[in-house]
């Protein structure tokens, strides 16, 4: 004869339901995951995708700033200028303004030609 424990006793609180032990074991086929394919190729990004990224988040981190030779339209003197200069660059020969700073890259004045170094 099986005796039932009173409803408020400790034995009733620690009993495990019978249906908890009857769950079937997972088959090995369910445990193996299928190889998933990404929508984007991470090793060969497109040039457009690389241009959108931050300079340090690209596949090969590199700065986007550069030095350039700027030719003065008045006296044709060549001056080396940093692309992100934060001061006004003036020609040594004729004192004409070659570029003015902005929030990022420096803005060349009209008529100035430049060559990237």
Q: How many domains does the chain have?
A: 1
The predicted structure's pLDDT at residue 98 = 96
Which tens digit of pLDDT belongs to each residue from 67-84? 999 999 999 999 999 999
Residue 6, classed as helix, strand or coil, is: coil
| Domain containing residue 87: CATH number | 2.20.25.100
Within-domain flag for 27: no
- pLDDT tens sequence across 20-77: 556 556 666 656 777 888 888 889 999 999 999 999 999 999 999 999 999 999 999 9
Give helix then strand counts, H and E, for the chain: 3, 6
Domain of 102? 63-116
pLDDT on residue 4: 62
**Radius of gyration of the chain from Cα atoms?**
36
Tracing tokens 């060969």 back to the chain, one arrives at 44
**Residue 111 within any structural domain of the chain:** yes
How does DSSP classify residue 10?
Answer: H
- Identify whether the C-beta of residue 12 lies closer than 8 Å to the C-beta of residue 6: yes
44 domain-assigned: no
Total Cβ atoms within 10 A of residue 89: 20
């Amino acid at each position: 004869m099986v005796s039932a424990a009173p409803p408020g006793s400790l034995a009733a609180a620690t009993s495990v339901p019978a249906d908890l032990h009857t769950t079937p074991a997972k088959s090995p086929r369910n445990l193996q995951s299928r190889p998933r394919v990404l929508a984007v190729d991470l090793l060969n990004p497109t040039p457009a995708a690389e241009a959108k990224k931050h300079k340090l988040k690209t596949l090969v981190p590199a700065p986007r700033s550069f030095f350039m030779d700027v030719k003065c339209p008045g006296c044709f003197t060549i001056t080396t200028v940093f692309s992100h200069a934060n001061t006004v660059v003036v020609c040594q020969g004729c004192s004409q303004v070659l570029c003015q700073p902005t929030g990022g890259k420096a803005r060349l004045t009209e008529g100035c030609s430049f060559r990237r170094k």
